[in-house]
Amino acid sequence: MPGTLVSGALVPGTLVPGTLVAGTLVPGTLVAGAAPAHLAPWMLVPPRPLVLASASPARLGLLRGAGLDPQVVVSGVDEDVDGLAPRELVLELAVRKACAVAERPGAVPAGALVLGCDSLLELDGEALGKPGTAEVALQRWARMAGRTGTLLTGHCVVDTATGSTASAVGATAVRFGSPAPDELAAYVASGEPLQVAGAFTLDGRGAAYLEGIDGDAGNVIGVSLPVLRTLLAQLGVAIHELWAAA
């Protein structure tokens, strides 16, 4: 870290860079003492490891865009769960995913925070997950077109240092457009809607066929950053303490 002169004095705890004197490089020196005054205390401590228990590129990209750098460990949890209402279902699956990774021997660094998420679209009280096939995707859009559904994302954070957990569900209203048959056929043929909750995306081709949303966009993509911040705070962790070094 380069030394800093303040009123002619060197700020303690900084490295004075080498200087070229008469053609000879004079080595730098480390000045003992306190850390530079402009650095906040949390900036001097390496962030705790964050683990994302999901294979979703969209979730990973959203977290990285928010300054986080999670390690990815896929949970492998069976998502076929019957008998639960949509909100209960996304929360249950998020908890199962986070706990499966947190409890797997050697899967995560010591003291890691593990984030599990699960998303689905609630329409007419029914939980709509990934369609899987073009036929199902077309059927879903026939129901969704011109209507409003609710994209639910369950979140669960496990603190492996303490064993504590915090969980919540984010909800965003999604207003669907009415794409023409040839538009819908092209969208389904792209393959994009087949492996995403609700058979649409907000951050991809599907956004063109939405009228808009009411609520958090990140929740639709797969992680609500406000929800994550709240859950971390419940565990005594500030989200900025997890920011990766710039």
pLDDT digits (tens, 9 = 90+) for 185-215: 999 999 999 999 999 999 999 999 999 999 9
- pLDDT surpasses 90 at 156: yes
* Beta-carbon count within 10 A of 15 CB: 12
Q: Is 2 left (phi over 0), alpha (psi -120 to 50) or beta?
A: beta
Could you give the domains of the chain? 1-39 (no CATH), 49-242 (3.90.950.10)
Polymer length of the chain: 246
Q: With 80 as the cut, is the pLDDT of residue 8 above it?
A: no
Q: What gap in Å lies between CA 26 and CA 28, rounded to an integer?
A: 7
CB contact at 8 A, 112 and 164: no
Q: Residue 80's pLDDT is what?
A: 85
Looking at the DSSP bridge assignments, the partners of residue 10 are 5
Of residues 118, 159, 214, 216, which has the active-site annotation?
118
For position 29, what pLDDT does the model report?
46
Residue 118: active-site member: yes
- What is the pLDDT of the chain when averaged over all its residues? 87
